[in-house]
Structure 1
Amino acid sequence: MERDLVGHGLPAPFERWPNGARVAVNIVVNVEEGAEAAWPDGEGNDSWGEYAIPIDPAIRDLGTEGHFEFGSRVGIWRLVRLFERFDADVTFGVCARALERNPPFAAWLRASRHDVLGHGYRWAEVTTMSEEEERADLEHAMRVLPDLVGRPVRGWYVRSFPSERTRRLAAAHPDLVYDSDAVNDELPYWTEVEGRRWLVVPYSKVHNDTRYFLAPTYATPRHFAETLIAAADFLLDEARHGAGARLMTVGLHPRWSGQAARAGAVRDFLAYVAGQPEIALVHRWQVVQWWTELDL
């Protein structure tokens, strides 16, 4: 995979999104709980819990398992209530095994208007897999996800960071039209993968609740809310001064942002956006459709 260090440049690609917004905000909720490595599945322990105490792989880590269970039992519904309260369009990045293990949430998602982004069958690092293993995981997810969510799944992204083959494997699947593994831009862009025109809708590791645990960390949820609000405010100011329409991606996880105090940061950000007529909460498929329509 070749590096591309040239982006959209100084000239604004376009002034406003087709819905009239200067700034489109896309919240991506990472639904991973139940797809992580765990003893009952013969996969050992996962390291992304609420604490950083190393657990011997020979010992079952019930603490981390319980933390993930909180996300599926409590956290996801707390976030759902906030999205419904603010009438927000969002994207759910779904690991298929997580959805298989939470039928009530699968039913809610199937009945909702929200977008679904494929996030693997298991929540595992593809950089540690062989090409055959990564392809098998992608194909497994893409076989079961459309039935689980009741509609086609058109986008793909993996845990942490992609392998050199991830985009090629995604582009080879006939149902997928874009990936969100890149973090090298804010706006979408077109590329080519083995002769196929391919859309990239970048993700963000910065406007992301993983920053509660990755340095520089947030001392309180208020700092996360302030960061998100500051980013949206700056993008809006930038758009008003000739930079063109902007896109902001926010990454959330039910096991983290579904905790009561941290959910307050999500609430405060949603309230801010709701008060800005030039900012719109959108899901990723809307962005894909708009970008295709604009043919940029």
Structure 2
Amino acid sequence: MSSRRGFIKQGSILGLAGLVPPVVNAFASTNKKDMQQEKSKWADGSRLVVSISMQFEAGGQPDNAESPFPQNMQPGYIDLPGATWFEYGYKEGIPRMLDNWDKFGVKVTSHMVGSAVLKNPALAKEIVQRGHEAAAHGMNWSTQYTMSYAEEKQFIKEGADAIEKITGTKPVGYNANWLRRGVNTLKILQELGFIYHIDDLSRDEPFIIQVNNADFAVVPYTLRNNDILLIEGKNFSADQFVHQVKMEFDQLYVESATKRRQMSISLHDRIGGTPQMVKAMSELLTYIQQHKGVAFKRKDEIARMALADKTSIRE
């Protein structure tokens, strides 16, 4: 058959004709729900939702954090040039990206490390003042999945409190360092008043899970359209990045004719804020905005819409 829907439809017809045993009829009936899900739409009428992340991490990194420089520093010494690579993120990268978002009328979600916010409070305030979401990203770059319940709760709370203190907004979304949350992370987030997390790559649309017997939203993240993985990790050129994201968009746009779809793009302060990458994003935004029905949304908007929508996938 030409599609999964066609296969399901054929199974239903054969069942009605008595050409398949009852057990197959039951299977075809069950999959009517799948057919309905494939025809799902965004509650606000959008055809495809694009969500951009702007990681605010620079300034919160530990000494000798991984950078483009060789990882061969001798013990007891600090990688001073490497530190300047991170400084670029808050001195040039985020300010440049903010101007570009304004140019295209796009609002993004900024996952903020608490210690980075405390080091650069004016920039954190500006991000929020310009209409972007301040989401939590831990207090620092510590590995949280090894922490005890109490340690992790304090770690998450300190980072969120730092953001609220500086920006005046309470974060409702969370991103763990390299997505590596622990077994207690979601319970802690629910207890602290968060409504969603992004540390999940399993779908191309938001979905709902149960945490502490209550609804909690998952707004999927991306490694495919991610500058830290592609530009730094795989040495993609800016042109390659543009091409890959365009291909992703084109496929999801086709699927979005009959199915709720979300495309994520992730940019980091010291990478996505370089001149070539901002130029690359300008090209991508120009291309994407030429397509009817595409909406750019912050992740808190996506989470709230998913939580309020009775047709959202539930796991």
Could you state the TM-score of these two structures normalised by the residue count of structure 1?
A: 0.87
Contact 1:75 1:257 in 2 (8 A): yes
Give the match for residue 213 of structure 1.
232
Contact 2:135 2:171 in 1 (8 A): yes
Match of 1:103 among 108, 117, 121: 121
**Aligned length, in residue pairs:** 277
Give the match for residue 145 of structure 2.
127
- Bigger Cα displacement from structure 2, 261-270 vs 80-89: 261-270
Identity %: 22
Correspondence 1:69-218 to 2 at 5 A? 69-160=87-178, 161-173=180-192, 175-210=193-228, 211-215=230-234, 217-218=235-236
The letter for the 2-side match of 1:254 is D
Give the match for residue 307 of structure 2.
292
Report the CA distance shift for 1:99/1:228 in structure 2 as closer, same or farther (over 3 A). Answer: same
Q: Distance in 1 between matches of 2:278 and 2:118?
A: 25
Contact 2:216 2:307 in 1 (8 A): no
Contact 1:273 1:280 in 2 (8 A): no
Report the CA distance shift for 1:136/1:282 in structure 2 as closer, same or farther (over 3 A). Answer: same
SS of residue paired to 1:117: strand
Q: Which of the pair has the greater relative contact order for Cα pairs under 8 Å at 6+ separation?
A: 1
Q: Distance in 1 between matches of 2:187 and 2:73?
A: 35
Q: Distance in 2 between matches of 1:14 and 1:77?
A: 40
Give the match for residue 11 of structure 2.
none
SS of residue paired to 2:216: strand
Which segments of 5 or more consecutive residues in structure 2 lack a partner in the other structure? 1-32
Q: Which has the higher helix share?
A: 2
Which has the higher Rg, Structure 1 or Structure 2? 2
Q: Distance in 2 between matches of 1:63 and 1:164?
A: 37
RMSD, aligned α-carbons: 1.9
Q: Distance in 1 between matches of 2:122 and 2:263?
A: 30
Could you state the TM-score of these two structures normalised by the residue count of structure 2?
A: 0.82
**Cα distance, 1:258 vs structure 2:** 1.1
Which segments of 5 or more consecutive residues in structure 1 lack a partner in the other structure? 1-7, 39-44
Contact 2:98 2:127 in 1 (8 A): no
Contact 1:110 1:148 in 2 (8 A): no
SS of residue paired to 1:126: coil
SS of residue paired to 2:122: helix
